Structure 1
Amino acid sequence: MKIALVGLGRTGEVVARYLLQKGALSMVMCRPNSSKVNKDLGSILNMQETGIIVEPTDHLEERLFYRKPDIVIDFSCSSFLRDNINTLAKCGVSVVTAVTGYDAAEINKIRNVAEKGNIGVVMAPNITYGVNILMLMAEIAAELMSDYDFEIFEEHHKYKKDAPSGTAKKIADKIRNNGMTYREIPTHAVRAGGIVGKHKVLVCGEYDQLEISHESFSRVAFAQGAYKAAQFIYDKKGFYEMNDIFEYEKRQRSLIMSECRAEQTLAELDLA
């Protein structure tokens, strides 16, 4: 699996280092006017030379044709996929996007291109596994505790532009789609210091309350999630979200457990 990374911001650099360790990174791109263009990735990451020269995102079709990556992992901004999804589909390059800030029309465009069947797309506004488990737990709470009040709190570093975050909006959507469609869900955003990412759902009743929270201690959590999503989408076509990856892994675990039980039964029969 050959992975191209787009975006070398704070998180992108961590993702690049992680993918290098996995031996999967073959190409890195960033905006054409970036000071990082034409530099060896190693010099940017303060490590030995990697042989991977950071390329600009212009003339994308030509670059993809030459490098032939299987998957693009996008940690840049919403304009990259919005402007280049058709080029990626033409070149047969699947996508994992961890970018926030897409509007409804952009999401529909990306979904429509993916569903034509030439490439696969995983769209995850927060690609860490833990926060996606938080979403599943919030869905369960919304279904079983619809008479409670729900509020969302999220914290990020002071350089994060969107507030509330794409993740917070996604959590709110999950809650609304599971029994809370008629209820406003207040969201509170903090932008301060170097906070990597923290999300909390507060569920309050008249006599008790429940808190569901997740905090990222390191941006490596984003890299792990992105790599996992890339492994998932490698041989697939269509449009997916993180919950689809969870469902796939659940089926795989069930299959393994069934096989183990079958082997155990055969072993017991042999001993009988």
Structure 2
Amino acid sequence: MKIALVGLGRTGRIVAEYLLEQDALAMVLCKPNSLSANSDLGELLNIKPTGIMLETTAHLEKKLFHKKPDVLIDFSSHHFLKENIHTLAKCGVNVVTAVTEYDRAEIEKFKALADKGNIGIVMAPNITYGVNVLMLMAEIAAEILGDYDFDVFEEHHKYKKDRPSGTAMKIANKIRNGLATQKEIPEHVVRAGGIVGKHKVSICGEFDKLEISHESFSRVAFAQGAYKAAQFIAGKTGFYEMSDIFDSERRQRRQHAVMHPKTIELEKEDPA
């Protein structure tokens, strides 16, 4: 699988390093006015030369046809996909976008294009696997503890622009999905220092309190999630979210357990 990457900010650079380690990175794109354009990626990452030159998004169609990436991972801004989604579809390049700034009209546009069967898109503002587990647990808690009060807390570094984060809003929506009746889900935001990312759900009743939390210690967690999403969407069409990837892996594990029960038992008996 050949991957293109756009967006080399705080997280994008970690993603680039991770994809290099997986020997999957084939192309890196930057803004037309970027000072890093036409330089080796290694210079930006302060590592040895990689042989991958930073290319601007100008004449994108020609560049995609030349490099032929299978999937593009987007850690830039909502402008890139908004302006280039039709070019990506034309060139047969699927997309994993971790951008959180899309408005409803943009998301509907991407869904409609993916539903035509020309392109596969994973929209993943919640790119880490751990936070998807938190969402699942929060939704289950809402189904069981519907008379409790739910609050969503999220913390990120001081440079993060959106407040609340796309992930925090997704968590709140998952809680609403689990509740039998609609109620307010307050979202509390902290932007400070170099916090990588932390989300917490507080579930408070009259006599007890439950908390579910997830914290990213390193941006490598985002890179791992993006790479798994790219592996999932390669060769597919349609519109997906990280929850779809998560559910797919759960089904695969269950099928494996049914088909190979003896293997599972042996693993339990001899974990070494």
TM-score w.r.t. the length of structure 1 is 0.94
Matched AA of 1:234: A
Q: Secondary structure at the match of 1:4?
A: strand
Task: Give the aligned partner of residue 13 of structure 1.
Answer: 13
Identity of aligned residues (%): 69
Could you report, residue by residue, the CA deviation over 1:204-245 in whole angstroms, capped at 9, with x for unpaired residues?
111111101000000000000000001111121100111111
What SS does the aligned partner of 1:194 have?
A: coil
Pair 263,7 (structure 1): closer, same or farther in 2 beyond 3 Å: closer
Alpha-carbon separation, structure 2, partners of 1:186 and 1:261: 45
Change (3 A) 1:216 1:180: farther
Aligned-pair distance for 1:262?
7.6
Helix, strand or coil: the match of 1:193?
coil
Q: 1: distance between equivalents of 2:197 and 2:35?
A: 27
Letter aligned with residue 171 of structure 2:
I
Partner of 2:65: 65
| Structure 2 match to 1:254 | 254
Letter aligned with residue 16 of structure 1: A
Which string of whole-angstrom CA distances, capped at 9 and with x for unpartnered residues, describes residues 115-170 of structure 1? 11111111111201111111111110111111111111100001001111111111
What is the letter of the counterpart of residue 58 of structure 2?
Answer: D
- 2:267 corresponds to which residue? none
> What is the number of residues matched between the two proteins?
265
Letter in 2 for 1:75: F
CA distance in 2, matches of 1:90, 1:212: 43
- Cα distance in 2 between the residues matched to 1:180 and 1:33: 51
1:127 is matched by which residue type in structure 2? I
How far the C-alpha of 1:61 sits from its partner, in A, is 1.0
SS of residue paired to 2:178: coil
| Alignment of structure 1 residues 210-229 onto 2, 5 Å | 210-229=210-229
Distance 1:241 1:156 in 2: 22
| Alignment map for 1:69-88 (pairs within 5 Å) | 69-88=69-88
Q: Tell me the equivalent position of 1:2.
A: 2
The amino acid across from 1:208 in the alignment is D
Offset of 1:263 from its aligned partner?
Answer: 8.2
**SS of match in other structure, 2:8:** coil
Match of 1:29 in 2: 29
Over 3 Å counting, the alpha-carbon distance change for 1:143 and 1:56 in structure 2 is: same
Which TM-score applies when normalising by structure 2? 0.94
**Secondary structure at the counterpart of residue 177 of structure 1:** helix
Instruction: Give the letter for the 2:111 counterpart.
Output: R
Gap runs ≥5 in structure 2:
265-272
Moved over 2 A (4+): 261-264
For 1:1-272, what aligned pairs fall within 5 Å after superposition? Answer: 1-179=1-179, 182-261=182-261
Alignment correspondent of 1:267:
none
Distance change (3 Å), C-alpha of 1:204 and 1:28: same
Name the stretch that deviates more: 201-210 or 180-189. 180-189
Change (3 A) 1:263 1:142: closer
Name the Cα RMSD after superposition.
1.5
Cα contact 2:129–2:246 (8 A) shared by 1: no
Specify the SS of the correspondent of 2:152: strand
Aligned partner of residue 155 in structure 2, secondary structure: strand
**Aligned CA distance change for structure 1 residues 157 and 255 (closer, same or farther; 3 Å):** same
For 1:106, give the aligned amino acid. E
Instruction: Tell me which amino acid in the other structure corresponds to 1:28.
Output: V
1:33–1:192: structure 2 CA closer, same or farther, 3 Å change rule? same
Give distance in 2, aligned partners of 1:205 and 1:254: 34
What's the CA shift for 1:261?
Answer: 2.9
